[in-house]
Amino acid sequence: MGWILFKRAVRDLKSGFARYIALALLIVFSLFIVISLMGAADTIIDSTVISDRELNCEDGEFSVFVPLRNEEIKKITERGVSVEQMFYVDYSLNGDQVLRAFKVRENINKISLINGTLPANDSEAVIERRYSEVNGISIGDKVSIGNKDFTVTGIGAAPDYNTVIKKITDTVVDSRYFGLIFVTPEAYDELYSSGCSIASEEYYYAYVLNGAMSESELKAILDDNTFDVEDVDDEYFKEYWDRMTERKDELLEGIDELKEGASDLADGADDLNDGITEFHEGMKDLHDAVPDLTDGVEELDDGAAALETGIKEYTSAVDKIESGASDLSDGASALAAGTSELNTGADLYGTGVNELAGTVEVMSQNEVPYIAEVAGGFLDPAKALATGFAQIQTGIAGVNTGATSMSNGAYQLYQGIKTLNSNSGALKRGAAGLHAGTTALKEGVADLSDGIDKLYDGSIEISDGSDELAKGARELADGVKDFSDEANDLIDEVFNIDLSNLRVFINKADNPRIDSAADDVQINYSASIIFGILLVVLFAYVISVFIVHTIDQESAVIGALYSMGVKRRTLTLSYVAVPVIVTFISGVIGTLIAIFTPAGIPAQMADSLGYFSMPKMDIIVKPFVLIYGLVIPPVTAFIVNVLVVRNRLVRTPLSLLRNEQKAVRGKELKIKGLKFIPMFRLRQIMREIRAGLTVIFGLFMSLLVALLAINTSVYCTNVKNSYIDLTKYEYMYNYKYPTEEVPEGGYEAVAEGFKKEIYGYTFDVTVLGITKENPFFDVGELPDNDSDVVISSAVANKYNLSTGDIFTLSDDKGERLYAFRVVGICDYTASMFVFMDIDRCRDLFNEDDDYFNVVFSDHALDVDGGRLYSTVSKEEIARSSGIYVEMMGPMVTTMSVASAVIFLVVMYLMVKMMIDRSAFNISLVKVFGFRNREVRKMYLDGNFYIVAIGALISIPLCKMIMDYIYPRYLVSNVGVGVTADFPPEVYAAIFAVVIVLYLAINLVLTGRIRKIKPAEVLKNRE
């Protein structure tokens, strides 16, 4: 077969040994780094999985106010969930260091010993690996915390403290100042009872679900646990508790009163309703009685009419009687007169009789008329006559008297009747008046009846209304009762921290302390895969440029071979052989170095081991890494070169034989006014556009690497500088149990912790309510409402927020969302703060008017440690922010150098090849008499423009790519809101370095041009 052509390839390789070695070294180096990173990542990720399994790493953890009671633990464990106490206490040592003491773990989060043994007695301890390394503590050393000395018997790591950070929100590990110590349970208790801890004991538990229940189920069970306040012995807690419960009681009382009031109101409304009902019933009776009344009045009226008529009849009768009486009186008068006359007559007659009788008297006694009878015989009759007459006379006199009396009487009767008659007018008038009165009464009664009708209707309405009122009042009362129930629940909920024993609940995935190394290297892994391929593509492409150069030189030969029937495939393969061989061998070497030397995978792992606290690990090389290292380079080179070479070989044998310059680019290029040399230079650029583009591609790749380094450097420096510059306070005290009064010299604030997610990681964002007087934050005027906020630039940077944006924060439990609008961004990158006015903040979170839980100050305050969650000092911030710079330093240097080397090699090889390609032409123009300087201008200086333009395009492009990648993939797991924005000088500096590197190469290659002799042209032809 065409194997013989591969001999050609091998010889080609030999003749271009220097350049292939240079490229091979770059590929070896690239693959060495890539495979090391991938291998280290694999090892760390896999080992983490294995050790998590072996050490029984928790599924999550929770902390409580009061240790769980046995029955509470049983509730969980009897369903199959494992739980173990992870109580800890922090102790200070050597002044500024903190050791967190744990009991030796039994089942969950077991300690992986790197050296030594677990503590066998109360004076022995295991120290966490990173702390021991950084502080040079080894087995047998003594560590003194509290009032106890411990002998270190082991160095170990715990899976729940893969990242050994004090607070879960800490962004950087500082093992110089913080570590873990594991002691026996007895020693732990003894130590704590000595009372020399810096903070109160934290009651953490780790759990492993064992598939027995879901996380939310477990959380629900734990949420239900309440605790007895009496069980807590933290005095600060108690004081705080009392204050809180007081407030709660007040609230509850208020609600009770409200409830009672409503209930009273309902009762009153009921009574009112009853009264109104009664009234209405009376009204109804009244209404019913009105017709009777009308009837009565009518009868009365009738009676009065009858009376009037009667009276009228009576008076007319009286009238008649009067006239009768008058007639009677007249008659009686007449009678009296008659009788009087009779009397007189009688008198006269009597006298006569008397005289007779006198005579007779003479005869008889005269005086007694009637006794005149007595005299005699005649006397007697005379006398009797006289006497009789006397008697008659007397009778007549009596009649007269009687008549007179009668007349008088008749008169009087008449008079009386007359009076009566005159009185009867009054009677008549009275009767008429009475009648009129009754008539009026009758009308009045009718009106009354109407009125009562209306009243009655009204009363019905009132009654209905009152019914509704009563119902409403009842409902109100019920509502108030419901409200009070709800309010009670709500209050219970608001005061939940106090009622529910559960304080913190965090699962493994959300816990930044667990599996963080594995998380951290994941990006190395993906980035390596991509960068590796990109670099191999670059180098393969560089090789392809050489191959193309060779093909161009040998085109007639190729044409000759074609013409005799050698196939393109055979030739293509023979040309592609060189890059495939070079990349394959380099890949093998790079991979072997990565796997088998300490500078490879172990060195990369050391990066992680130097930061994370991990158990011992054996290097794991997975097939994919091997395949990557051994297969990717040749395959990539094969693909790249086949694509390039095939294109070259696709020409006809004839055109190859004639060595036709495939439509020499730039030939038709003629720009008026351009002098010969610039014109020539332009054509040369066009002719060598492939090499030019390769230079740009190489420049681009090396700038990508360079900018990764510079971005990292700038990012870390920004963290360091801005943290220090922008942190104006010296101390920030985070209260667990705030005092009532703000400590003297401090500025109070309200801080509420929230979570916010970005690029797959969740960080804590603190809503900070500050007072107007607070001198440490330059936030300007804070809005007077609870939805507009000023955010720190850390938040703005991390979450890509700008003024006017609306964003949400979710509370710790992820149950509630708060939306805010950004009205300002304050230049503060050290913490992710969302600033509000302190009062608005208190309102928003339903806190008292004088509530606070954070105090800032510019000097140390006298605050009891037991009240605090933590203290943040500026010094600490400065210290931890500096760690980034320290940590990233070597990586930045390595990458900067690597990028410069990539650029130099690619640039050198390409330009050198351009010169080689033009060697014939160069010697020709020298023969024509051009001087070296002019030749350099014609053939070399064009590259300056390529490099300059390439850099002008690549630098911003690479920066944009980096700015995209950086926050999303490289620092997405870091809770730091700093940007890697460059000042313009940095861009200028990068550009300057590129140009300087170019000039250096130019200098070297100018020498090469000088060496090309005019005679070359003569011997150059075969």
3-state SS, residue 324 = helix
Buried b (16+ CB within 10 A) or exposed e, 186-195: ebbbebbeee
Spatial CA neighbour of 409 closest among 485, 475, 331, 483: 331
Site for other proteins in 128-147 (CB under 8 A): none
C-beta of 560 vs 927, nearer to other proteins:
560
The distance of closest approach from Cβ of residue 569 to other proteins in the complex, given in angstroms and rounded to an integer, is 10
Is 927 near other proteins (CB under 8 A)?
A: no
C-beta of 11 vs 167, nearer to other proteins:
11
Is 5 near other proteins (CB under 8 A)?
A: yes
Other Cβ atoms closer than 10 A to 834:
24
The distance of closest approach from Cβ of residue 1010 to other proteins in the complex, given in angstroms and rounded to an integer, is 25
Contact of 414 with 325, CB cutoff 8 Å: yes
Other Cβ atoms closer than 10 A to 500:
18
Tell me the C-alpha distance between 430 and 311, whole Å: 9
Q: Which of 350, 579, 615, 653 binds other proteins (CB under 8 A)?
A: 653
The distance of closest approach from Cβ of residue 1019 to other proteins in the complex, given in angstroms and rounded to an integer, is 10
The distance of closest approach from Cβ of residue 911 to other proteins in the complex, given in angstroms and rounded to an integer, is 24
The distance of closest approach from Cβ of residue 558 to other proteins in the complex, given in angstroms and rounded to an integer, is 9
3-state SS, residue 177 = coil
DSSP structural state of residue 969:
I
C-beta of 114 vs 656, nearer to other proteins:
656
Tokens at 717, concatenated: 């420096």
| Total chain residues near other proteins (CB under 8 A) | 28
Query: DSSP for 452-467?
Result: HHHHHHHHHHHHHHHH
Tell me the C-alpha distance between 19 and 905, whole Å: 9
C-beta of 1 vs 1003, nearer to other proteins:
1
Tell me the C-alpha distance between 621 and 634, whole Å: 20
Where does this chain touch other proteins (CB under 8 A) — which range of 446-454, 647-655, 758-766, 883-891?
A: 647-655
Residue 757, strand partner residues: 762
Is 320 near other proteins (CB under 8 A)?
A: no
C-beta of 859 vs 1021, nearer to other proteins:
1021
Cα Rg of the chain (Å, integer): 64
Where does this chain touch other proteins (CB under 8 A) — which range of 10-18, 467-475, 866-874, 991-999?
A: 10-18
The distance of closest approach from Cβ of residue 680 to other proteins in the complex, given in angstroms and rounded to an integer, is 25
Tell me the C-alpha distance between 642 and 1018, whole Å: 34
Is 11 near other proteins (CB under 8 A)?
A: yes
Buried b (16+ CB within 10 A) or exposed e, 84-94: bbbbbbbbbee
The distance of closest approach from Cβ of residue 1016 to other proteins in the complex, given in angstroms and rounded to an integer, is 15
The distance of closest approach from Cβ of residue 638 to other proteins in the complex, given in angstroms and rounded to an integer, is 21
Tokens at 131, concatenated: 């702390």
Where does this chain touch other proteins (CB under 8 A) — which range of 5-13, 201-209, 400-408, 661-669?
A: 5-13
Site for other proteins in 535-574 (CB under 8 A): 554, 556-557, 559-568
**Rounded to an integer, what is the distance from CA 864 to the centroid of its chain?**
31
3-state SS, residue 202 = strand
C-beta of 4 vs 120, nearer to other proteins:
4
Contact of 519 with 48, CB cutoff 8 Å: no
Q: Which of 2, 67, 303, 376 binds other proteins (CB under 8 A)?
A: 2
The distance of closest approach from Cβ of residue 575 to other proteins in the complex, given in angstroms and rounded to an integer, is 12
Spatial CA neighbour of 835 closest among 888, 790, 797: 790
C-beta of 142 vs 658, nearer to other proteins:
658
Handedness of CA 426, 431, 432, 438 (dihedral sign): positive
Contact of 86 with 511, CB cutoff 8 Å: no
Is 670 near other proteins (CB under 8 A)?
A: no
The distance of closest approach from Cβ of residue 10 to other proteins in the complex, given in angstroms and rounded to an integer, is 9
Tell me the C-alpha distance between 2 and 369, whole Å: 216
Secondary-structure percent of the chain, ordered helix, strand, coil, rounded to 5: 65, 15, 25
C-beta of 556 vs 603, nearer to other proteins:
556
C-beta of 428 vs 568, nearer to other proteins:
568
**Rounded to an integer, what is the distance from CA 1009 to the centroid of its chain?**
70
H helices then E strands: how many in the chain?
25, 20
C-beta of 222 vs 656, nearer to other proteins:
656
Q: Which of 107, 138, 652, 803 binds other proteins (CB under 8 A)?
A: 652
Is 863 near other proteins (CB under 8 A)?
A: no
C-beta of 213 vs 557, nearer to other proteins:
557
Contact of 766 with 754, CB cutoff 8 Å: yes
Q: Which residue has the tokens 């093909």?
A: 551
Is 751 near other proteins (CB under 8 A)?
A: no
Is 647 near other proteins (CB under 8 A)?
A: no
Is 8 near other proteins (CB under 8 A)?
A: yes
Tokens at 862, concatenated: 């006298």
Q: SS3 string of 281-309?
A: HHHHHHHHHHHHHHHHHHHHHHHHHHHHH
Site for other proteins in 952-971 (CB under 8 A): none
The distance of closest approach from Cβ of residue 648 to other proteins in the complex, given in angstroms and rounded to an integer, is 16
C-beta of 177 vs 562, nearer to other proteins:
562
Is 667 near other proteins (CB under 8 A)?
A: no
Is 4 near other proteins (CB under 8 A)?
A: yes
Is 900 near other proteins (CB under 8 A)?
A: no
Is 1 near other proteins (CB under 8 A)?
A: yes
C-beta of 146 vs 559, nearer to other proteins:
559
The distance of closest approach from Cβ of residue 532 to other proteins in the complex, given in angstroms and rounded to an integer, is 32
The distance of closest approach from Cβ of residue 939 to other proteins in the complex, given in angstroms and rounded to an integer, is 24
C-beta of 11 vs 931, nearer to other proteins:
11
Is 662 near other proteins (CB under 8 A)?
A: no
The distance of closest approach from Cβ of residue 1002 to other proteins in the complex, given in angstroms and rounded to an integer, is 30
Contact of 514 with 159, CB cutoff 8 Å: yes
Tell me the C-alpha distance between 13 and 3, whole Å: 15
The distance of closest approach from Cβ of residue 31 to other proteins in the complex, given in angstroms and rounded to an integer, is 28
Q: Which of 113, 293, 462, 657 binds other proteins (CB under 8 A)?
A: 657
Using CB under 8 A as the criterion, which residues of the chain lie in contact with other proteins when the complex forms? 1-5, 7-8, 11-12, 15, 554, 556-557, 559-568, 652-654, 657, 1022
